[in-house]
Amino acid sequence: MIPGLPLTTANYAKMTLILKEEVYAIVGYCIEVWKTLGYGFSEVIYKDAMEVEFIQDLIPYKREDELSVYYKGRVLAHKFKADFTLFDNIVVEVKSGEDEINNIVMAQILNYLKASGCRIGLIVNFGKTKMEYKRFIM
């Protein structure tokens, strides 16, 4: 729920479409990368290609964004890294495995969303004959 926004049918539609255009653009870049490179490369190659697309179109992003983890109000010593944070509100995790997007990877993106405070997460898998992605909303 968006603070101060009454829950009506129209407002619910606005909430469910948060960052729709940005997510659409990111998926478009991923499709372009997949169409150009195909499948079979390691994750870092796809991340490099995605970064080229983001730079070319002046998309605000951070690569390997370090995220703090809090435990009982304290920041833990070790952090973990999201592959990309875009528009300061979307976390993207890149995979290149032949496996489906599974519960382990989904738990990973949900943890990244909790740690980052971002609202939207995307998992993109380039490792199959067809690129796949899943969108998560926190």
Q: How do residues 19-47 score in pLDDT, each as one tens digit?
A: 889 999 999 999 999 999 999 999 999 99
What are the start-end ranges of the H helices in 18-132? 20-37, 43-56, 103-116
Whether the pLDDT of residue 8 is over 80: the answer is no
Give, in order, the Cα–Cα distances in Å from 77 to each of 24, 67, 70, 71, 127.
Answer: 35, 11, 9, 10, 33
**Token digits of residue 19:** 């960052």
The residues spanned by each domain of the chain are 9-137
Task: Tell whether the torsion through CA atoms of 18, 89, 95 and 136 is positive or negative.
Answer: negative
pTM, to two decimals: 0.83
- Tens digit of each residue's pLDDT (9 = 90 or more) over 104-133: 999 999 999 988 889 899 999 999 889 999
CATH number of 9-137: 3.90.320.10
Closest CA to 41 of 52, 29, 33: 33
